[in-house]
Amino acid sequence: MQREGKIIGEITVIGPDRKGIVAKVTNYIFENQGNIEKISQNVVRGLFGMQLEASFNGIDKDRFTKGLKRLCRSLGMDIKVHFDEPDRLKNMAILVSKEPHCLEAILNAREKGELRVNIPLIVGTENTLKPIASRYNIPFYHVNHKDQASAETRILKLLDKYNIDLIVLARYMRILTPNFVWRYPNRIINIHPSLLPAFPGAYAYLQAHERGTQIIGCTAHFVTEELDAGPIIWQEAFRIRNGESLESIKRRGQSLEAKALLKAIKLYIEGRLEVYWGKVYIKSSSNRSISKSVDIGDAKSNKDDKGNNT
């Protein structure tokens, strides 16, 4: 990433909580003529995580990274350093389970040239969607998820191997741990089948149907350690018809899930997303922040499947 002629490095440090970590890492950055632009840290059940962005007027990336990794090994911590390269396509990994609609929409958009991104791998909790990956000649990795920690370790190795910039959860039906999420701050995008913060967690459409909700939709958001509470990027919505079945709601919702997820991915790839204090700001092409949008699908047309007014 480059900002006003500067090189921006994103650094994450994860490991057992102990004293002196923040001071030693930030001192190393200062010693290399770096300036810290953003920093955040957290501790969950004894696991320490720190994320920061540092700017440099000029830097030997390999030397800096090797030195920082040596420091973190001496501290017993894991380190990840990521420098965006503006002159290359971003590398995007897609994580899936068994629902195909979001994956197919993403791959179709890329095939048509609507998404300018490289997709070097797809990771699945099962092999259900492997034929779709094969159709688009994308390597598919089935990672056994009986143990989430072991699965995440395997996935993290794959992400490092392919130098991944962005992770998309295309109906990936697992909860990522802080150990995973903290390594990719504001670089994991999920799609949830409700207008968050309403109806978080599983069975969102069922909850909305049982509560008699009149407007329902979906939310593309960044993933944090708080389930379904990450910064909202984009939302789509539609009005529920009188007497509409749960299956009909799901079908219409899935179409909007793909639409909202694609929009969020495009905004990220175009470099138009900024996150401040847990809120996403979308920059226009003129670099001014604009508000996020919620499209109320066919809310203006209150008609049933036969075209009758309801």
Instruction: Report the CATH number that the domain containing residue 60 is assigned in CATH.
Output: 3.30.70.260
Residue 309 belongs to some domain of the structure: no
The backbone torsions φ and ψ at residue 145, rounded to the nearest 5 degrees and listed phi first, read -110, 25
Boundary of a domain, candidates 83, 110, 128: 83
Domain extent, residue 11, equals 2-83
Residue 65 belongs to some domain of the structure: yes
Higher pLDDT, 193 or 152: 152
Residue 243 and residue 153 share a domain: yes
Boundary of a domain, candidates 54, 83, 112: 83
Residue 185 and residue 228 share a domain: yes
pLDDT per residue as tens digits for the range 234-264 = 999 988 888 888 888 888 888 899 999 999 9
Q: Is the pLDDT of residue 93 over 90?
A: yes
**What's this model's pTM, rounded to 2 decimal places?**
0.82
Residue 159 and residue 46 share a domain: no
What is the secondary structure of 6-47 as a DSSP string? EEEEEEEEEEE--TTHHHHHHHHHHHTT-EEEEEEEEEETTE
Output the average pLDDT for the chain: 86
User: By C-alpha distance, which of 192, 214, 190 is closest to 204?
Assistant: 192
pLDDT per residue as tens digits for the range 147-188 = 998 999 999 999 999 999 999 999 999 999 988 998 898 999
Residue 67 and residue 129 share a domain: no
DSSP three-state, residue 144:
coil
d(CA 169, CA 270): 19
Residue 306 belongs to some domain of the structure: no
Q: What share of the chain is helix, strand, coil (3-state, %, to 5)?
A: 30, 30, 40
Residue 305 belongs to some domain of the structure: no
CATH number, residue 227: 3.40.50.170
Residue appearing with tokens 């598919």? 140
Residues with Cβ within 8 Å of residue 83, at least 6 apart in sequence:
1, 7, 8, 9, 10, 61
Residue 310 belongs to some domain of the structure: no
Residue 155 and residue 47 share a domain: no
User: By C-alpha distance, which of 224, 229, 245, 223 is closest to 194?
Assistant: 229
**30 pLDDT tier (thresholds 50, 70, 90):** very high
DSSP three-state, residue 171:
coil
How many independent structural domains does the chain possess? Answer: 2
Residue 302 belongs to some domain of the structure: no
pLDDT per residue as tens digits for the range 218-227 = 999 999 988 7
Can you give the pLDDT at residue 4?
53
List of E strands, 242-288:
273-276, 279-283
Boundary of a domain, candidates 41, 58, 83: 83
Residue 125 and residue 266 share a domain: yes
Q: Is the pLDDT of residue 142 over 90?
A: yes
Residue 98 and residue 67 share a domain: no
**The one catalytic residue among 62, 84, 87, 228:** 228
60 in active site? no
Residue 109 and residue 28 share a domain: no
Positive or negative torsion for Cα 50, 279, 123, 99: positive
Residue 85 CB coordination number (10 Å): 12
Q: Are 109 and 141 in contact (CB under 8 A)?
A: no
Residue 122 and residue 65 share a domain: no
d(CA 244, CA 211): 13
Q: What single-letter DSSP state applies at residue 240?
A: P
Residue 268 and residue 234 share a domain: yes
Residue 100 and residue 57 share a domain: no
Residue 24 belongs to some domain of the structure: yes
Q: What single-letter DSSP state applies at residue 132?
A: H
Residue appearing with tokens 């708080």? 226
**29 pLDDT tier (thresholds 50, 70, 90):** very high
Q: What single-letter DSSP state applies at residue 195?
A: S
Residue 101 belongs to some domain of the structure: yes
CA–CA distances in Å: residue 224 to residues 70, 115, 180, 243: 28, 25, 10, 36
Residue 105 and residue 57 share a domain: no
